[in-house]
Structure 1
Amino acid sequence: MDWSDSDGNEVLDWESDEEPGPGSSPARVADRAGPSDETCKAGPSHRPLVSHFMGMGFSEDMVMKAIKENGEGDSEAILETLLTYAAIEKCPENIDHSHNNCSLASEENNSDGDDLSDISGFEDEDFTMGLSEEDKKYLTLMEMGFHPEEASAAMRRCGPDAQILELADSIHAAEVQESELGESTYSNNKPESFSYNCSRGKRKRFAEETVNKRRCVQTESDSSLISIPKPMVGYGLPNQRITTICRKLPESAVGPPYFYYENVALAPKGVWETISRFLYDVEPEFVDSKYFCAAARKRAYVHNLPIQNRFPLLPIPPKTIHDVFPTTKKWWPSWDPRTQFNCLQTCTASAKLTERIRRALEHYDDLPPLTTQKYVIEECRKWNLVWVGHHKVAPLEPDEIEMLLGFPRDHTRGGGISRTERYRSLGNSFQVDTVAFHLSVLKDMFPNGLRLLSLFSGIGGAEVALHRLGIRLKVVVSVEISEVNRNIIKSWWEQTNQTGTLIELADVQQLSGDKLEELMCTFGGFDLVVGGSPCNNLAGSNRYHRDGLEGTHSSLFYDYFRILDLVKCIMGKNI
């Protein structure tokens, strides 16, 4: 009969004496009936392998087919094939989109409170660069939700060459053994395989989730026509002598009007090819803002701006954590190797997390165990935590993030804007120093100022960059759906005593062809069209709705192209 485990997930009572009915699955029937003739005819090495996968709930025919396809030496490849077969049977119309659902946990809903620690709003970065294979496996197990001591114990039991699935099996086996026999989870004796110690439904579900997660990582790392360079320095950095780059733009892309579009660099496969194709086949410029400030921010920019004679904003911002926040150096432990922050997020760590870290360290004076060090460093990297006392970490404050992103102090403060809204607005903004370096070529081209069309401009990163470059903003037409962001831009406009005209529109649908033509007739056209949409649907950290350019937020790119194309046509640049 059917029953549910403690998590509310339906599993099957495989030991039931109930006769199989018409609705029984082939795997269930096969399991009750015992091994078939085909299984019995299989060699000695086949029999345990077939039983192993049938114990997970797969049918005998499916298992034999997978073994025949992959050979019996690679159990992980067999499992991959079996899960693929199962997915095809369940939803053939969606099999090509399996990489969009790579979560090991259910989606958490954001609330109006300040505790956003459970929201996956941070961007995946290269945390594992330079780590040993053993450390990478340890961090993978941590990311899958296992306790640090569980991960370490499993690695001791299984040895350094064990695969992730084997380590996860070992952890689950230890958990089952502890619950059934009352033995210690961290026993040095290697328990029996997880395959034979827990319900088949639960084991199959866990295996499926684990492999789906690995597929997600593999899909994201697949090569594409547009490759991401390493290091990610674009067409050059400030004050760096490089070989002269000759970039020839397609004729349809030559400005004016100039255009500049930004989004997250590590997007799903094919996204940047699509963006480039729509934007007149201009290839993106990949830049990591860690070369401009003390925080990483991997972004790509498609633009038709000149790339010669760029210059940076002054003063040059500090590029290390201790230079930005010198008071943290006193408390910074020797085993925390960070010199820069990870990508700045749309959310922040909770007080509960910082308290957990304090408790994990409180029993040690200077050098905690390696497992504790790894756990703390991973959380600090993930949430950009800084050391503010002995064994005490804290998240960055909004005004500190403003400084790292190049915005003036209190740019997002005031006007009834909550702390949560400040984090969200800052996390979706431009890094001003990076953008200003690219836009600096416009200063000599428009000595009397320029007319800017800013689409989905957030908190006005492009406007702030142009202002800091000393370029007058004669006209700014800003399209931004967030009332909070519109209020921030309007407040900045007034506080900086801008002499031009600011027009704010709340909905991109308001910018029809007629409306656009009316604005261009009034102001004489636009010199620069800037755009960028929130990276929620593209970022690797979004395990739930990584929908690429079809996502709710990133689909705004198509509106960006539509409006840019209208501007070009109205200005006589028919393509």
Structure 2
Amino acid sequence: SNEELFSIMEKTLQLLEMGFSECQISTAFDMCGGCHSVFAICLSIYIPLLNRLCSILFFQYYTSSNMQIKMEDSSLRDLPPDFFHLKTEEECDSAPPVGISELLEKSKVKKPKEVRRSVPKKPKKNEFSLDPCIEPPLHHLQEESWKQFDIDEDGKPVLLPKPSRLLANAVAKRPYFFYGSTTDLPRGTWAKVSQFLYSVQPEFADSRQYSALHRIEGYVHNLPTEDRFQITPNGPMTIDEAIPNARKWKPSWDNRKHVMLHTDFDSGGGASYLCDRIGRQLAGSLSPEQQRSLVLELESKNLMWVGKNKLSPLEPENLELIMGFPVQHSRFSGFSPAERLNSLKLSFQTDTVGYHLSVLRGLFPGGVSLLSFFTGLGAAEVALHRLGIRLRCLVSMEPREAMRGVVKRWWKESGQGGELVQVEGVEKLSGEKLEGMCRKYSGFDLVVFQNPWRGGDGFAFDVFMEFVRVFQRLRCAME
């Protein structure tokens, strides 16, 4: 159940903060299950390790006259009764492989003497936590992500300087993860996503800074934020640059600069009727109030000028250019213009996501191996290609046949030299198959998850948990 998943992930986060590795935590859950307390899970990890340490200490005691162990030492009083049980060689071999120096350091610094639920504390102003009983982890933003925007005089969001990030080494490492959503998720949903991804706070980007699209995209990732750069050459930054033919027909009172993707696209009879009605309205004189009202309607329906007092719905080719895709990228047999437009609407804007992925070029100069969940039209892949980052391999999980066809055609036409593996869905990816891919490709450098649209608040929790499960399994396999 979801409640059990929340409990397991909460305990996992607490254990990670104590310094345990993901493999140790996974082994402990396999041994004693997820229903036990954090203290009990800690014991299941520590007792085998302490038994090994004790064996070594006793060996040194009998072989060195300088080694003395005082049983009255306070650090030994609270050990379990079987602490000094010497395990057999077979038992020792089954214990997790930990170096002696690492073991001594953990037993000295990170030994959890007692784990208990503290009295709920009032969260600090910049603290981002779903459960107030959980202490804030080491990996956090120095500034609150929700305050990355200010409001200008027109009531529009303006990007503030990017806050610095302090991520623990256990989090900011390969494989990197990148979760993104192009829909307006509630703050509580972002909190849920953050909690299951090492409590890394979300980062928000205004696409107007990179393109002719007006939209806020949200990401949760563990990539570095320093040394980012924009894709060059950059795409059109305004509607006039994206659709130059419309400029000569556009009246002076139409001050639109960016496309806004509010509603589903309709390229059928409804859109034609609306264009005809507005065209008849334009034949007469309009008051300033009518002009402002009409601009809002044109903006909400994404209607573009194609002649004098003549309008037409936004074409897929126009939106492809605005989103940073090649022309005809979304074209596929049986895919209607409205379906193409709606697929583009749910995709990342490639210049925007590319800016956040640009650090990968310095991290992996030889190219990246990519595991992609709900690839869609392949926006992250196209962005990496535009950044000049070679895709050594792409394992794409996408249930829709049309989307797989689009990505497969782009892979071939763009001259990718790596290997493309397409999987119909995450449920088709077994643990054995994932581990086999890890061995074949020497692990993955980046895991991308684009939130699929499910209606409502736009968040598919069950699918997201599958992503978390697979990512945890992947990290454990790559340890």
For the aligned pair, the TM-score class normalised by the smaller chain equals 0.5 to 0.7
Distance of aligned partners of 1:302 and 1:455 in 2 relative to their CA distance in 1, 3 Å threshold:
same
SS of alignment partner, residue 228 of structure 2: coil
* Distance (Å, rounded) in 1 between the aligned partners of 2:321 and 2:439: 38
Residue 565 (str. 1) matches residue 476 (str. 2):
no
Match of 2:304 among 378, 386, 408: 386
* Distance (Å, rounded) in 2 between the aligned partners of 1:363 and 1:263: 38
**Deviation for aligned residue 1:445:** 1.4
* Distance (Å, rounded) in 2 between the aligned partners of 1:241 and 1:396: 27
5+ residue gaps, structure 2: 1-129, 131-143, 152-157
Task: Give CA deviations for 1:463-513 in whole Å, capped at 9, x if unaligned.
Answer: 111111111111110000000000101111111221111110002111222
Distance of aligned partners of 1:358 and 1:472 in 2 relative to their CA distance in 1, 3 Å threshold:
same
Residue 556 (str. 1) matches residue 459 (str. 2):
no
Residue of structure 2 in register with 1:14 after alignment: none
Distance of aligned partners of 1:425 and 1:352 in 2 relative to their CA distance in 1, 3 Å threshold:
closer
5+ residue gaps, structure 1: 1-223, 233-239, 538-544
Contact in 2 for aligned 1:226/1:273 (Cα 8 Å):
no
**Deviation for aligned residue 1:405:** 0.5
* Distance (Å, rounded) in 2 between the aligned partners of 1:228 and 1:479: 34
Residue 462 (str. 1) matches residue 369 (str. 2):
no
* Distance (Å, rounded) in 2 between the aligned partners of 1:511 and 1:481: 12
Alignment of 1:337-486 (within 5 A): 337-343=255-261, 346-362=264-280, 365=283, 367-369=285-287, 372-486=290-404
Contact in 2 for aligned 1:358/1:391 (Cα 8 Å):
no
Residue 230 (str. 1) matches residue 153 (str. 2):
no
SS of alignment partner, residue 180 of structure 2: strand
Residue of structure 1 in register with 2:437 after alignment: 519
Task: Give CA deviations for 1:109-165 in whole Å, capped at 9, x if unaligned.
Answer: xxxxxxxxxxxxxxxxxxxxxxxxxxxxxxxxxxxxxxxxxxxxxxxxxxxxxxxxx
Residue of structure 1 in register with 2:37 after alignment: none
SS of alignment partner, residue 253 of structure 1: coil
Residue 510 (str. 1) matches residue 428 (str. 2):
yes
* Distance (Å, rounded) in 2 between the aligned partners of 1:471 and 1:426: 23
Alignment of 1:60-79 (within 5 A): none
Task: Give CA deviations for 1:292-342 in whole Å, capped at 9, x if unaligned.
Answer: 111112110111111111111111222111122222122212332211111
Bigger mean CA offset, 412-421 vs 360-369? 360-369
Distance of aligned partners of 1:259 and 1:293 in 2 relative to their CA distance in 1, 3 Å threshold:
same
* Distance (Å, rounded) in 2 between the aligned partners of 1:495 and 1:323: 26
**Deviation for aligned residue 1:366:** 6.3
Residue of structure 2 in register with 1:254 after alignment: 172
Residue of structure 2 in register with 1:534 after alignment: 452
* Distance (Å, rounded) in 2 between the aligned partners of 1:344 and 1:406: 19
* Distance (Å, rounded) in 1 between the aligned partners of 2:281 and 2:392: 61
Q: Percent identity?
A: 39
SS of alignment partner, residue 356 of structure 2: helix
Counterpart of 2:308 in structure 1: which amino acid?
Answer: H
Alignment of 1:25-104 (within 5 A): none
SS of alignment partner, residue 227 of structure 1: helix
Contact in 2 for aligned 1:254/1:304 (Cα 8 Å):
yes
Given the two structures, how large is their TM-score scaled by the length of structure 1?
Answer: 0.54
Counterpart of 2:359 in structure 1: which amino acid?
Answer: V
SS of alignment partner, residue 457 of structure 1: coil
* Distance (Å, rounded) in 1 between the aligned partners of 2:185 and 2:147: 10
**Deviation for aligned residue 1:410:** 1.2
* Distance (Å, rounded) in 2 between the aligned partners of 1:569 and 1:243: 35
SS of alignment partner, residue 195 of structure 2: helix
Residue of structure 1 in register with 2:224 after alignment: 306
**Deviation for aligned residue 1:360:** 4.3
* Distance (Å, rounded) in 1 between the aligned partners of 2:454 and 2:309: 33
Contact in 2 for aligned 1:534/1:554 (Cα 8 Å):
no
Contact in 1 for aligned 2:393/2:418 (Cα 8 Å):
yes
SS of alignment partner, residue 255 of structure 1: coil
Counterpart of 1:561 in structure 2: which amino acid?
Answer: V
**Deviation for aligned residue 1:383:** 1.7
* Distance (Å, rounded) in 1 between the aligned partners of 2:265 and 2:274: 18
Given the two structures, how large is their TM-score scaled by the length of structure 2?
Answer: 0.64
Distance of aligned partners of 1:448 and 1:229 in 2 relative to their CA distance in 1, 3 Å threshold:
closer
Bigger mean CA offset, 370-379 vs 493-502? 370-379
**Deviation for aligned residue 1:373:** 3.2
* Distance (Å, rounded) in 2 between the aligned partners of 1:414 and 1:296: 26
SS of alignment partner, residue 165 of structure 2: coil
* Distance (Å, rounded) in 1 between the aligned partners of 2:189 and 2:291: 37
Contact in 2 for aligned 1:346/1:426 (Cα 8 Å):
no
SS of alignment partner, residue 366 of structure 2: coil
* Distance (Å, rounded) in 2 between the aligned partners of 1:265 and 1:419: 21
Task: Give CA deviations for 1:331-376 in whole Å, capped at 9, x if unaligned.
Answer: 2123322111112765235443443343345255464245643543
* Distance (Å, rounded) in 2 between the aligned partners of 1:499 and 1:289: 30
